[in-house]
């Protein structure tokens, strides 16, 4: 996803001289196209994330369109106050880009886990929140961010390298889409968990004969309420999957939407990271398994909850 983002932003910066890119001293083998092509608009503020956010806000106040970029846990947790007070309060045109969301930097321990960010940024006024599940979504969101205005957060994970787009579907802010049709069990997924959801849906059909659909939610704020409600009205079981704390992310957003609409599927459950620190060290797959987000674990729980 990172390369998809860089490619789209490079193209946009060639067309527009008002776009600035700021980073907190990282991007080796990733950001060179931006640094080499736009040396006057590529700013490395060093390992100082609070300054990264505030410098970005200052540039936006002078009419620039700004993207600030760092490891997701650093560009969210370390400078949340500056994002809230400098960027969101003034409704500035700054996009916060966090790379390695979820457990993608899991081999470096809890300090590099990013599992609270969606909840944090959903709570900020004026903030839009994006969490693509693969490269096509990341590229489409980047184009939308360039065309739009205002504060936004883009969480980048590791793309599975597959094109799951559908002919005739045009991405728009606040819109999700069905990756796989099926309405007995419907799995809503965001970010890194999209491919897990697809695998589980296929297994449900093959092993249980159950019609299982998958809906990708690349935008958590604004949320595609109409799509969620329409799927929930027909589903026997509705499940959310996210590489994020079970509190405040996709599961919470979907539950809030259904409660406000008065829609109650017979079975509803959110799969996410338990409300605890995952202190183990390892790669993403290992940590997901530790957190109960492995394919086999989720599949078995869905079968048990739907009594199949």
Q: How confident is the model at residue 72 (pLDDT cuts 50, 70, 90)?
A: very high
Residue 169 confidence (pLDDT): 73
Q: Is 80 exceeded by the pLDDT of residue 158?
A: no
Residue 29 confidence (pLDDT): 79
DSSP string, 53-96: HHHHHHHHHTT-EEEEEEEHHHHHHTTHHHIIIIIITTT-SEEE
- CATH fold of 177-306 reads Rossmann fold (3.40.50)
Residue 249 confidence (pLDDT): 98
Residue 300 confidence (pLDDT): 97
Q: Is 70 exceeded by the pLDDT of residue 164?
A: yes
Residue 27 confidence (pLDDT): 75
Residue 159 confidence (pLDDT): 66
Rounded average pLDDT over 205-219:
96
Q: Is 80 exceeded by the pLDDT of residue 161?
A: no
Q: Model's pTM, two decimal places? A: 0.96
Using DSSP's 3-state secondary structure scheme, residue 121 falls into helix
Interior/surface letters 45-57, b for 16+ CB within 10 angstroms, e for the rest: beeebbebbbbbb
| Helix H or strand E segment including 240 | strand 237-245
DSSP string, 8-39: HHHHHHHH-TTEEEEESS--TTTSHHHHHH-T
CATH architecture of residue range(s) 2-156: 3-Layer(aba) Sandwich (3.40)
Q: How confident is the model at residue 281 (pLDDT cuts 50, 70, 90)?
A: very high
| Lookup result for tokens 């994970």 | 157
| Lookup result for tokens 């509705």 | 238
Q: Where are the alpha helices (DSSP H) in 123-213?
A: 135-147, 194-208
Rounded average pLDDT over 44-69:
97
The domain locations on the chain are 2-156, 177-306
Rounded average pLDDT over 194-216:
96
């Amino acid at each position: 996803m990172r390369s998809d983002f860089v490619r789209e932003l490079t193209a946009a910066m060639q067309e527009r001289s008002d776009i600035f890119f700021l980073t907190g001293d990282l991007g080796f083998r990733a950001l060179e196209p931006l640094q080499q092509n736009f040396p006057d608009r590529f700013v490395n503020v060093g390992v100082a994330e609070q300054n990264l956010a505030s410098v970005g806000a200052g540039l936006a106040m002078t009419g620039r369109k700004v993207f600030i970029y760092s490891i997701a846990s650093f560009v969210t947790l370390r400078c949340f106050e500056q994002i809230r007070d400098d960027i969101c309060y003034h409704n500035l045109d700054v996009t916060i880009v966090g790379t390695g969301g979820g457990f993608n930097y899991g081999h470096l321990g809890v300090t590099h886990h990013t599992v609270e960010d969606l909840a944090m940024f959903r709570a900020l006024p004026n903030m839009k929140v994006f969490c693509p599940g693969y490269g096509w979504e990341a590229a489409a969101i980047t184009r939308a961010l360039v065309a739009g205005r205002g504060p936004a957060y883009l969480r980048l994970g590791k793309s599975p390298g597959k094109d799951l787009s559908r002919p005739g579907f045009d991405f728009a802010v606040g819109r999700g889409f069905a990756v796989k049709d099926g309405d007995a069990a419907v799995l809503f997924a965001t970010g890194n968990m999209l491919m897990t959801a697809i695998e589980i849906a296929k297994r449900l059909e093959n092993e249980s004969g159950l019609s299982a659909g998958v809906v990708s939610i690349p935008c958590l704020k604004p949320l595609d309420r109409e799509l969620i409600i329409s799927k929930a009205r027909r589903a026997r079981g509705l499940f959310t999957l996210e590489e994020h704390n079970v509190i405040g992310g996709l599961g919470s957003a979907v539950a809030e939407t259904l409660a406000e609409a008065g829609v109650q599927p017979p079975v509803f459950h959110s799969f996410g990271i338990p409300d605890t620190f995952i202190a183990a060290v390892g790669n993403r797959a290992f940590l997901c398994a530790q957190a109960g987000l492995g394919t086999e674990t989720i599949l078995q729980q869905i079968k048990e909850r739907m009594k199949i």
